[in-house]
Amino acid sequence: METPALEFETEDVMSYNHAKITYRLAKMLSIYDEQYDILPELEFDLSHGRAKPDVAICHRNKVSWLRDIIRPTQPPLLAIEILSPRQALSDLTDKSLDIYFPSGVDTVWVIIPQFKQITIMTVTGQENISTGIIHNAPTGISLEVGTLFAE
């Protein structure tokens, strides 16, 4: 007798620190609201798969309150991922390499709350930042790392 294959959908567990960082990111990035759309927790239907960054920085679009967009197909300029307590770091690096970069996302920030660290990933490499100001040259967006991880 053949056993049917089961499909499981994993759900990221949102924690207090994850929620706090998401809130702080949105608050800190709000100064760029006139230039970009700052979109937390929006799922994208990209050319190489679906992805839902914790925060996406996108070209500013005109809002249509009558006709909503469920899953944008235009890739974000910057995708920000926050490592959840029960998530493997390789889940986020694989998502960057397999979905984000091939779909046209320029930069991914991977935030690791436990180490108060942000890893900047691009197609050409990565850099780890734990102090000072993180800067995304293509968008001009800057962020003070110490403010993000303030006690």
**What string of pLDDT tens digits covers the 151 residues of the chain?**
555 544 434 455 679 999 999 999 999 999 999 999 999 999 999 999 999 999 999 999 988 888 989 999 999 999 999 999 999 999 999 999 999 999 999 999 999 999 999 999 999 999 999 999 999 999 999 999 999 999 9
Range list of β-strands (E), the chain: 36-40, 44-46, 49-51, 55-59, 78-82, 107-112, 117-122, 125-129, 133-136, 141-144
The overall pTM is greater than 0.75: yes
At 68 the pLDDT is 87
Query: Which CATH number, 1.10.3720.10, 3.20.20.70, 3.30.70.20, 3.90.1570.10, labels domain 16-148?
Result: 3.90.1570.10
Domain chopping of the chain, boundaries: 16-148
Question: Side chain identity at 81, as an amino acid letter?
Answer: E
